[in-house]
Amino acid sequence: MAQHGLAGKTALVTGGGRGIGAAIARMLGALGATTVICGRTQSHIDTTVKQLKSSGGQSEAIVCDVSDWNSVSALAAQVQKRFGKLDILVNNAGIGGFGGPLHQLPIDKWDAILNTNLRGVFYTVRAFVPLLVAAGGGHIVNISSIAGKNALPNGAAYSASKWGLNGLSYSVAEELRAHKIRVSVVCPGSTHTELSPHEGKSSEKMLQPDDIAHVVEMLVTQNAQSFASEIIIRPTQKP
């Protein structure tokens, strides 16, 4: 364990089985937080938990589909029963949607993207903010995308979900400041994960999941009198 700046804290990472979510979970564990990993696939989240525990971290895996309110509500009940509070909520779960113009997008694909990337964050905020309030404050970090700042042809549904997530984040930040809960949104550029193929781009020049985890580390270890409401992170070189 390299550092213990979050010792005694409880964190939850959605979509923590792979990619950016797994990197964030490993970072939180290295800082000493007890980290709950949730996702839809048991084997994926078990792998992340195993990685944390092998490094001396405390972690638990709980299956959850953030697009399903009943699933999120049950997760919150388990966290409350087990830990009594939550200090850090990282909303990372998301799905991509690339490959064609919006007028050709199947209706069920639109629903899946918006229900996971945007509605799912509403559900976790709705379910877990009471636990953050009970803890006397904390952090909500929403992993968005640079697609929530710029046009994304052939990815309009994904872009819309991230623009919506950004607006949600700014507004909730104002609602929760009085409770000492800091809400931040992180907008990465091209990142080398399984979310999308990034055809024609150099994976070596792209952002890596640990780059995003480093930004989240900064957010959750800031001094109490300040918070960064939005961070945009880009590759140094265009992939």
52-106 residue pLDDT tens: 999 889 999 999 999 999 999 999 999 999 999 999 999 999 998 887 999 999 9
How large is the average pLDDT for residues 14-20? 95
Q: Where are the alpha helices (DSSP H) in 8-103?
A: 19-30, 42-54, 69-83
Give the Cα-Cα-Cα angle 59, 166, 152 (nearest 5 degrees). 105
Q: What is the arithmetic mean of pLDDT over 17-25?
A: 95
| pLDDT value for 190 | 82
CATH topology of domain 10-233: Rossmann fold (3.40.50)
Position 16: which residue type?
A: G
pLDDT digits (tens, 9 = 90+) for 112-167: 999 999 999 999 999 999 999 999 999 999 999 999 999 999 999 999 999 999 99
What's the rounded Cα separation, in Å, for the pair 26 and 52?
6
Question: Quick check: 39 pLDDT over 70?
Answer: yes
Q: Where are the alpha helices (DSSP H) in 84-119?
A: 107-114
* Whole-number Å distance between alpha carbons of 153 and 56: 44
Amino acid at 79: V
Looking at residue 194, its pLDDT comes to: 72
For 24-28, 74-78, 193-197, which range has the lowest pLDDT when averaged over its residues? 193-197
Quote the distance between the C-alpha of residue 163 and its chain's center: 15
* Residues marked as catalytic: 158
pTM of the model: 0.94
Q: What's residue 99's pLDDT? A: 78
Phi/psi at 112 (5° precision): -65, -45
Q: Tell which residue, 149, 140, 151, has the closest CA to residue 167.
A: 149
Compute CA distances 66 → 62, 148, 207, whole Å: 12, 20, 25
pLDDT recorded at residue 4:
57
